Amino acid sequence: MLDDQRLIHLTEISAVDLPTRERYKYKCRVQFTSEQGATLAQRDLFARMQPNWLVELKNKGDCTIAITFCFREGDIGQPWQDIGTVEFDTQTYLNGDRNAELEFPIATWEQAPQLKLKTRLTQSAGEGGSSAVTVFSRQVGAQQVRGRTNGKDAPEVELPPDIPLTPPEEVIVKDVWNSSGLGKNFRWKSFSSGCCWRNRS
């Protein structure tokens, strides 16, 4: 497979062997760079008490990925502190393989000397542009609702379609939902086939 036909996906990040205390929160900064050192994409992942993230960061072709793991002790008024950064070349770990699970030790935090950062990479064939985060990627057919006004049929109104979410997309949307207080305006519809995001208004 030619390099310009490959899509590299970073799909999971997690940390293990952390302190058991609940006063810590964690987040990651992720950066994709080219062979020439140009930044292709940069994302801050949401803060979590349990440091595991399902993501869908992708790049067309091989690149270097740097992940900086951070923590905050206490409430929102406390500053974030970097624990350490791991950096790796996707070509090294996806050389002929379709996926790879990587593990990197970070021994710089005295509270967790056995800390390890884990990531999962996959590759696929396909066309694509530059690096991107995919959140809403699929749609189903639009729904139509017919109302009545004073005993007469009202014009048909076309509602936006329900949007099925993959498990990584559910995590991202739920993080946004929880952190921004959107629960009063939105609700989850759960079906056997998955979840949909629907506006109440």
Across the range 137-144, mean pLDDT stands at 35
Q: Is the pLDDT of residue 179 over 70?
A: no
Q: What would the pLDDT profile of 42-92 be if each residue is shown by its tens digit?
A: 999 999 999 999 998 999 999 999 999 999 998 888 999 999 999 999 999
Inter-residue contact 148 to 162 (CB < 8 Å): no
How big is the chain by its Cα radius of gyration, in Å? Answer: 21
Hey, where are the domains in the chain? 3-133, 143-199
State what percent of residues in the chain have pLDDT above 90.
48
Give the CATH architecture of domain 3-133: Sandwich (2.60)
Identity of residue 10: L
Inter-residue contact 133 to 56 (CB < 8 Å): yes
- Looking at residue 193, its pLDDT comes to 42
